[in-house]
Structure 1
Amino acid sequence: MKQVKTALLSYGMSGKIFHAPFLTLHPGFILMGAWERSKDLIRQDYPDVKRYTSLEEVLADDVDLVVVNTPVDTHYEYAKKVLEAGKHALVEKAFTTTAAEAEELDRLAKEKGVKLTVYQNRRWDSDFKTVKKIADSGVLGEIVEAEIRFDRYNPNLSPKAWKEGENFGAGILKDLGPHIIDQALTLFGYPDAVFADIRTEREGSKVDDNINLYLYYPGLRVRLHSGFFNREQLPGFVLQGRKGSFFKDRADIQEDVLKTGAKPNLDNWGAEPEEKSGVLHTEIDGEVVRKTIPTEKGNYYGIFDGVYKAITEDAAEPVTAQDGVNIMKIIDAAIASSEQKKVIDL
């Protein structure tokens, strides 16, 4: 099996929780190390890897793939250097800070003949996989209305300056927003227009922390919401079709389990509690039924396996750069819509 030598550009929560465990689980990857500016945390977990002290040191090494998992406002600069060095790149969300930056990275990757993937891992959540299975099955008939939420209750400001500072990558629209936008585009495709209301609700906050987006499709409206004042949370997914409805809590367990230090596997990983099953209420063969739907297993291994096949078999990336461009176009349009208080045609 061909080995893809991989380096991380940081080893905070993202590197420790979302990337390193799956890179070391997949037999096709070799974790080479991480760029750490002052600490040497990665070698506490993986003693045989390297601690890089600069991006230049990473790019000078015999590395095939670089994971750009640094703050959002650095993604464009770092990913561009990675691509110019002829390395493949896996870039965390938000892909960039603007659609123009995303389009430039897409162009550069094609020019260099390397693979560029956006890390939209929530496509591999158990809840979303279940929702997509129901939507694709046609059991609801034509879907006329949908809502996707990613809510939390956390009125406190983050101690991480890059999350709360006045920079182009900060704010909930570019933090949780890319997840729900990508899930909407995966289900329904690219919309015709966007309307958005972007607000700041937490005391002392300098960034947006409550978003409502409406995506307009022929015969379909999709509402996206994310905020920090949701102690009692509504269903994460609501699909309303001409024949019936499907409701599903956002209940994927992978992040919480990974935070305990547990390592992922390919057997019993990502199974939600049975009580979090979605509810289907629809008409099947002329009979109205209301029942719970078993949840699909989630596993972020899928995105890494897709990246591996893209690099070694020239398959399409599991989340393409064009997917990332489309998400950033929605974000750009949402900002313009909220500022101008009008619907923005795409």
Structure 2
Amino acid sequence: MVAPLEIFRALADPTRLRIFVLLRAMELSVGELAQVLGQSQPRVSRHVKILADAGLAARRKEGSWVFLGLGDETDVAPILGALDIWQKGHVDHWQTADAARLAAVRADRAAAAERYFDQHAEQWDAIRSLYVAETEVEAAMRALLAGRRIGRLVDIGTGTGRMIALFGHEADSALGVDRSPQMLRLARAKLAEAGLGAAELRQGDMYELPLPDGSADTVILHQLLHFAQMPEAAIAEAARLLAEGGRLMIADFASHEREELRTDDAHARLGFADEQIRHWFAEAGLQTEAIEELKGGELTVKLWLGHRSGEKAIQRKAA
């Protein structure tokens, strides 16, 4: 626990207070903070160091990039609570301006990713196959999800619809969501070929899904999370869809140092550690049920399965 005096010294500077509030919204790099604040990167770095020394900010290195987020919850939560109370009814012009510029940063990130998806839509399945044997991943996913019926299936970032093609015949209903209209057009064609023309496809954002709470029994994030600028928010939104006993399956890469995937293939995150996913599951109200590691390709694939506790867990479909 950091001494209160150090915390208040760190927040005494207006710029550091602005940074603290921005990091509450999302993880950012120093360059993105500089863009939002309109200040030089060296100056922002000095402010970040003071916040980190006071336990209010934390650095996380990924390849040549460093992402910044809030510090330990025990130090940060009381400050956030106080800010919420103090700011009630007050309009801060700096905070309003920062929020607008932060929205621009988010839009830039999303536009870059969407350009990539649209440009590579036709080759998307081939691009995925470069990293890991999909047949092995799919078999492992099937094994982890066995034992209880799929129920209402939602595939977030459905791409070409592969996960719906894999699990849709066993589901009571199947719905795929993707931001890219071109991806959805491809998915419709592929699913029709697979005899799943009744599957529903919708355009939508992983952070704001066009679906009500508790509307799914099985949610899948397959090779999507490494494109997420805010993976914890994507997990929380996916978890929101789960009914009692519902399960969230994430298939993605373990932490790695393949920096070229960020620059060449629009990866926002260079994989994930188990402790990160466990923490995000817990924050989203899910229990970690299983973790599986699949080696053999250029990158290691991990499967993380979480579930929402409740008495109404869906049972195995009757034979």
For the superposition of Structure 1 and Structure 2, which TM-score range results when normalised by the shorter chain?
A: 0.3 to 0.5
Normalising by structure 1, report the TM-score: 0.30
Normalising by structure 2, report the TM-score: 0.32
Kindly indicate which of the two structures has a greater share of residues assigned to helix.
Answer: 2
